Structure 1
Amino acid sequence: MTENSPDLHRSTSALATSGSTLSWNAVSVDVPLSKKAATRDPESPSVKRILNNVSGYVKPGQLLFCMGPSGSGKSSLLDALADRIKLPVQGTQVLDGKVKTAHGLKAIAKYVQQTDDLLGVLTVRETLQTAAEFYLSDASARPNAVDEVIDILGLRPHEHTKIGNALVRGLSGGQIRRVSIGCELVAAPKLIFLDEPTSGLDSATAFHVMTELKRIAKTTGMSMIITLHQPSELVFEMADTLLLISSGSTCYFGPAHEASKYFHSLGFSKPSKSSDIEWMLELVNQDFGRLETVEKCIRSWPRSEHAANLQHEVEDMEASCADLHGGAGKRMERMNYASSFLQQTITLTRRGVLNTIRNPAVLWLRFAMYLMLSLMIGLVWLRLGNSASVLNDYNTALFYTCAFMIFMSVSVLPAYLEERSVLVRERANGAYSVGAYILAHTLYEIPYVFLLALMASSVTYWMVGLTAGAKRFFIFVANLFLSLFVAESMMVLISAVIPILIVGIAAGAMTFGLFMCVMGAFISIDRIGWWIRWIRYVAAHFYSYSTFLVNQFRDTTWEASPDTFPPFLEPVAGESVYRAQGLEERLWVNFVALIAMIVFYRIVAAIWLQLFLKGKR
């Protein structure tokens, strides 16, 4: 993109908006210390203060840089202001003349987090287009907004390149970072929080991105609060306001260009070879033996003229907030999503279909796994015949089909965890509801799970030589489909509750292993102790295996086999096989039970996501 590109100098921006004013006064956050630490030293405080009476504000069109050394509390402050922190936040916060509420903030603000949680198989344009569909209610504005963000972030040469993941080659880390920024920028928020937006970017790209953010702020009025770790001098010069933090306390708040003068007034001298920002960050860094210097900066701040001006400013903003003083002012209303529930579901379903088709781990690798397992079952139990001597062989073939095809569903966990991280980011920014996500997830899973079941059934059924008949075959397909869908639903729940892959796999494997023990294949149901027998009622394996056996053996007679061991001197009724294992002829009950499990697992997953996955740290 050249300097004279018309996209850089549009007279009318698709991101046109109006900014917001956010002020905060005496914001403090305490972290409870562990009981073990308190036991070692009973006289030590029970909490650690990570933010200590921090005040500040940002106005429309301003870039506020929040800076400090690692562990200073700048990211904690950003989380506290953006309602992304689980700990109680003390102090007052006023947004556009009203007491800030979580839903009110989410309706006008967006947050760019440090981690880049994106679906790796989507292209840059598809990712930004999806974000626009969530955030922009005006469909006609979406294409222009996406195009402008692509140009602003220098992504035009890569707009049709996939993001990339462990299995799909895609963008560089810096390019992915720009896409993450673009996903929230496309919403044209009034206020945007950016946590380390230049991390992973080279100096030239960081300067370009910050220049464009500055331009957007000035031309649209968008307010920006940005945490930075070690910006270049050129990037630092773009700040309107600087908040410098050390050990959770304010060392400076005010115009960025006056910060150096302020620290000179405290008696500090800047080395000749250091830039202003390097020098100031060195002053407030206590990691390398400069504790006295840091303490002086913290002690001096409350007595400074800048601190008095800041306090006067935030108190004026609080005075105009009727909510804060019990007046008649209206609190901000509960947020509404930019897109309807139906539109959210359609967009999520379309994206899910693309992710399913393109992600090797979701569809193609699993198709290969299920095809190989089906062929292996078919080759081992090839054309067993109609003799009573092979009844147990049919039994073991059906057990293996039921148990291990369900078990292989754990292979979908990596893809579900990737989706989970995207869900947390998007939901925290008010993109869509959990209900729309779960419904869409169910809709786009149905076709590919059915195809898996149909493919596996077609291979296994005819190679093994299961009882012929169209009705029996379709019952087999339906049973395998519902069984796999129950397993998929359990993986949805596990991925919602457990964000760690290896722990999730262990939980799934342990659960499936337990269910195998009570399905009736190894021991008759009647012989299992009453204290563990009840587990079969919550085990999909029990209902699935029972259906397979009844479907295979009901209304069948097996030829006598006097020459085998043990000998079968007379024909054997097929019903005797499943009755000997304590199983009953109740196919529809089994189907209803499997459907109920699908609904149950997904409802519990939705409740968990709603209550516990709000993007807070």
Structure 2
Amino acid sequence: MATNKPVGVERSFVRHDFKVAPLDLRWHSLSVTINRPRASPVLALQPCSGAMEAGSLLAAMGPSGGGKTTLLNALAHRGPSSGGEVLYGGSVWSARLKRRVGVVEQDDQVLQQLTVGESLRFAAALRLSHLTPAAREARVASLLAILRLASCEGTQVGDSSSAASRGISGGERKRLCIACELLTMPSLLFLDEPSSGLDSSMAYVVVDVLRELAHTHGVTVVASIHQPSSQVFALFDSLLLLKAGLTLYHGPRAAAADRFGALLGKARPPDFSAADWLMEVLVLERCSTAQELLLRAEAEAAAESAFESAAPVRASAEASSADAASPPPTWAYQVRVLGARAWRLARGSIWVHEIAALQLCIGLLAGFLFFRLGYDAADARSRFSASFLSSINWMFFPLMAALPLVPRDERMARRQLQQARPQSELQQGAACVSAWYVPTTSIALLPELLLLVVNAVPFYWLAGIADDAAAFALTLLSQVLIVVTFHSVGLLLAVGATFTRANSGTLSMLFMSFCFLFTGIFVPPSQMPLPELRFANPLYYATSLIAQLVFLQGTEYASPVPGGPPVPRDEVLATLGIGTPASGCGACGVTCSRAPRRPDPLAVAGVFRAVGRGSSSAAAGPREWVVALR
């Protein structure tokens, strides 16, 4: 049957040096049962059989919930398979075979900040590390031509849901995902709803590319599809109809409508396309239960016959040996490639003028608020408040900036590297995480560290809490440690949200609330129901560390009582509830020989104010200092 392509759609008849080893697909009595917690198991896919010739294009069609994705996952060895047998070229599934099977998910797994060419080249560098750069570039150029992406090679992928950052079209995005899967030249390709979200013209281009891959380049293609147009439907070679997990038809695409029409006793109306009419029969339940059982029996009989009569098409020894000889990428190579990709992803966001201006304003405002702090009783609490403000600023920004790094970037890197080394998935997964974490975190921290300098210079200079270069350097180094810590906490929360299906923003707000409440600032540790909780709070350690440095220059503080002796710095910190190695409070984990006097909780919890009245006492000791701080 001749196919009429939509107006304006051009088809490429250029042949490229891209020919895969043929591989047929057969399955027998394949079923899938999904176990549910606190509920009985569900048979998502009834036992079914079928066969596909190498280099053919099969459409798995049916209503929503019919079992299309379940069948694809079972055939691709990606989901639960309760029973049956699947043969790939006459062989059962193996780790070596995984490299010859490609899967394109319904959700587009592409990074918005990269261009089309960069996306393909970075994927090729990870998955084809055994090839020379020239060979990888030739593979990329060939796929750009086959998938008809050469015209948009330099276009950024962008976000299709945002008009401000829109890049390539939906059809080009889908073809880019297909191209990434074709880098390893798989013999078998599974696609879940490749035309989802596309108009009829773009859907035709995508399926036409799949047809060319099958007929010209020898790829066996299985695609699930919901309700294609008549032009798209005519591109498929064979059809598999599913409804509620039951296979109602499996055979040539052109004969499906006639078979259903004969069963129902009436022919397909001339104004209905075959795909629309078949979907109407399935969805509107034009078939009785008896007719469905008859269809299922005939489909099973035809599938059994095809399964038994099909001669397996095995891969050549050359292709198998090439797969086996492909060495996995080393950890250093992964870090180098993922580091280059992370740098490309971060371009344009290393220095953002608006965020830099925000941090500069925060530093100026805080500096004027704590302008030129001195070393007397009135300034002690202000110094401690400045320490807390400095800590919470660099808790919030690095933590929130780390949340969006994990969900797509790490998942894509893990998948590409696992496909590059299927022989050792567990080890490769572990290597992938560390190889992704090191460069991604290092590059993602660059803008935070630059903004830290922009904020800290005016803040510390105006407040006078780091008057010399050594004190400023130590304080800045401590702030760098705080930034790295909370950036890592943000990554941890993002990973936890991925595994628990929770919202990373909700988890981060819960964590920051805990940090605020259990620092000892608002409620003294002695009055907390569980004072030990503060030791699980990284903000507690951050505030204590900055306070140690903020009070570093003032070794002695003026007495609040006129004529009184100066009070040692350690006594001031102990009164504030902050221990030092010299005081032996244990807050920093150091046990010292001399323990300080127990701090007055009223001094920690109270509001600090300057003492405006004098004293007739000739000397003032620690008790007078505590009263003044109260």
Range into which the TM-score falls when normalised by the shorter chain: 0.7 to 0.9
Residue in structure 2 matching 1:240, options 222, 237, 240: 237
Q: Any residues of structure 2 matched to 1:575-594 within 5 Å, and which?
A: 575-585=570-580
CA apart distance, 1:63: 0.9
Change (3 A) 1:247 1:314: same
Query: How far apart in 1 are the matches of 2:326 and 2:406?
Result: 27
How many residue pairs get matched? 557
CA apart distance, 1:492: 0.9
Change (3 A) 1:152 1:591: farther
2:376/2:557 contact within 8 Å kept: yes
CA apart distance, 1:104: 4.1
Residue identity in the other structure for 1:560: A
Are 2:117 and 1:125 aligned? yes
More displaced, 134-143 or 294-303? Answer: 294-303
CA apart distance, 1:393: 0.7
CA apart distance, 1:514: 1.5
CA apart distance, 1:67: 0.7
Query: How far apart in 1 are the matches of 2:352 and 2:484?
Result: 14
2:332 is matched with 342
CA apart distance, 1:561: 6.7
Q: Any residues of structure 2 matched to 1:202-601 within 5 Å, and which?
A: 202-268=199-265, 269-285=267-283, 288=284, 290=285, 293=287, 295-304=289-298, 307-315=300-308, 339-359=329-349, 367-412=356-401, 413-420=403-410, 422-423=412-413, 426=416, 433-499=432-498, 503-525=503-525, 527-529=526-528, 532-554=530-552, 556-557=554-555, 560=558, 569-585=564-580
CA apart distance, 1:98: 2.5
- Secondary structure at 1:358 match in 2: coil
Query: How far apart in 2 are the matches of 1:282 and 1:424?
Result: 41
Map Cα deviations across residues 395-442 of structure 1 (whole Å, 9 max, x no partner): 101101102320233432245444356457646755873332223323
Residue in structure 2 matching 1:151, options 124, 145, 150: 145
Residue in structure 1 matching 2:84, options 91, 101, 121: 91
CA apart distance, 1:567: 7.1
Residue identity in the other structure for 2:518: V
Map Cα deviations across residues 513-554 of structure 1 (whole Å, 9 max, x no partner): 2223333434554x155x633333332212211211111223
Larger gyration radius, structure 1 or structure 2? 2
Residue in structure 2 matching 1:58, options 42, 52, 59: 52
CA apart distance, 1:59: 3.2
2:604 is matched with none
Map Cα deviations across residues 546-565 of structure 1 (whole Å, 9 max, x no partner): 21111122362455375xxx
Residue identity in the other structure for 1:25: H
Change (3 A) 1:338 1:8: farther
Residue identity in the other structure for 2:566: P
Change (3 A) 1:369 1:61: farther
1:17 is matched with 20
CA apart distance, 1:77: 1.1
Query: How far apart in 1 are the matches of 2:470 and 2:223?
Result: 64
Query: How far apart in 1 are the matches of 2:476 and 2:82?
Result: 54
Residue identity in the other structure for 1:133: A
More displaced, 214-223 or 62-71? Answer: 214-223
Change (3 A) 1:351 1:294: farther
1:74 is matched with 68
CA apart distance, 1:592: 11
CA apart distance, 1:507: 1.5
Map Cα deviations across residues 463-490 of structure 1 (whole Å, 9 max, x no partner): 2211323232222122111111111111
1:58/1:225 contact within 8 Å kept: no
- Secondary structure at 2:196 match in 1: coil
CA apart distance, 1:253: 0.9
- Secondary structure at 2:27 match in 1: strand
- Secondary structure at 1:266 match in 2: helix
Query: How far apart in 2 are the matches of 1:435 and 1:455?
Result: 31
What are the ranges of 5 or more consecutive residues in structure 2 without an aligned counterpart?
Answer: 1-6, 315-319, 422-427, 591-630
Change (3 A) 1:296 1:450: same
More displaced, 494-503 or 405-414? Answer: 494-503
Give RMSD over aligned pairs: 3.7
1:395/1:549 contact within 8 Å kept: yes
Change (3 A) 1:313 1:173: closer
CA apart distance, 1:345: 2.0
Query: How far apart in 1 are the matches of 2:588 and 2:102?
Result: 45
CA apart distance, 1:24: 1.9
Change (3 A) 1:405 1:476: same
Change (3 A) 1:183 1:313: same
Percent sequence identity is: 27
Residue identity in the other structure for 2:334: Q
CA apart distance, 1:10: 4.4
1:602 is matched with none
2:107 is matched with 115
Residue identity in the other structure for 2:244: S
Q: TM-score, normalised by structure 2?
A: 0.78
Q: TM-score, normalised by structure 1?
A: 0.80
Query: How far apart in 1 are the matches of 2:388 and 2:150?
Result: 54
CA apart distance, 1:194: 0.9
